């Protein structure tokens, strides 16, 4: 994906940032149970899409990192998955 495409797609998913050829977003929650519920929902979406993010979980937080491993960069699918995660 060229930089103009990344900028365009990034404007469509709120709160995501571009770093190291990946898109990332930190989600915050009031407790660990809510964090785990979110992670499980993300896992279901990822399995259905066949596209799996990196998830970093801690008390009240989950950072989601997306990129397409097969191309070692971003694809439209990363932004589609980001939008679906945002709907949670």
8-32 tens-digit pLDDT? 999 999 999 999 999 999 999 999 9
Instruction: Name the burial class of residue 42, with classes exposed (0-12), middle (13-18) and buried (19+) by CB atoms within 10 angstroms of its CB.
Output: buried
| Residue-level pLDDT at 68 | 96
| Residue-level pLDDT at 61 | 97
Q: Does the pTM of the predicted model rise above 0.75?
A: yes
**Ramachandran region, residue 7 (left: φ > 0; alpha: ψ -120 to 50; beta: rest):** alpha
Say how many domains are in the chain. Answer: 1
The CATH number for 51's domain is 3.30.1360.20
Which residues form the domain of 16?
3-86
Tell me the pLDDT tens digit for each residue of 28-57.
999 999 999 999 999 999 999 999 999 999
| Residue-level pLDDT at 79 | 97
């Amino acid at each position: 994906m060229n930089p103009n495409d990344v900028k365009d797609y990034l404007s469509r998913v709120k709160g995501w940032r571009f770093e190291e050829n990946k898109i990332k977003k930190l989600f915050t929650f009031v407790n660990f149970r809510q964090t785990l519920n979110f992670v499980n929902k993300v896992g279901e979406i990822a399995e259905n899409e066949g596209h799996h993010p990196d998830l970093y979980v801690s008390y009240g937080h989950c950072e989601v990192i997306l990129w397409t491993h097969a191309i070692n960069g971003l694809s439209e699918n990363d932004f589609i998955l980001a939008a679906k995660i945002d709907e949670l």
